[in-house]
Amino acid sequence: MKSPIGNIGGGNTIDGPKFAVNQTEEIVNSNSLVNVTDMKFPVEANKNYAFRIYHIGSSTTTADVKIKHIGPSGSTIDWNETTIATTVKTANNTVSMPCNGTSTKNYMHVVGRINVGANAGDFQVQYAQQTNEPATDTKYMINAYIVYWELS
């Protein structure tokens, strides 16, 4: 369930709806993308939205976290990560967030825009292991969040 919250530490107010991950989700031995339960927001047809995402992931071996941003059919998404120099972004809105082979949390800040076509629906974050690792727990962590604004 989504948890709207209005502040990020230090009293800095966010000027838009914000949804945070309420519990850590875990994948073992799968590079098939799945939805992150709390990381989505509704979009209306023929409107544009800006978003900011703070991804948090971990993996106990080199099975990096694969992350994808999706929208309704006919949408276009332009985005850029601003924190990890070794991140690899592909044309299909998928990115590999490097995890250093420990259970240490890894962070990635993303800013972007979705231009919604004729179909309303949800902007959704998905994740998976970059490479199948049978004994590895790849996690999308609690306290990751997404903030969005309607532009038009």
pLDDT of residue 127: 86
The tens digit of pLDDT for each residue in 72-101 reads 999 999 888 776 545 555 555 677 666 666
The mean pLDDT value for 4-17 works out to 44
Please give the tally of structural domains in the chain: 1
What CATH number does residue 109 fall under?
A: 2.60.120.760
91 assigned to some structural domain: yes
Question: Residue 86 belongs to what domain range?
Answer: 7-150
pTM of the model: 0.77
The tens digit of pLDDT for each residue in 123-152 reads 999 988 877 777 667 787 778 889 999 996
Return d(Cα 69, Cα 74) in angstroms, integer. 14
Amino acid present at 147: V
- Residue 18, CB half-sphere, CA atoms under 13 Å: how many? 17
122 assigned to some structural domain: yes
136 assigned to some structural domain: yes
Q: Which of 68, 80, 55, 81 is nearest to 123 (CA)?
A: 68
2 assigned to some structural domain: no
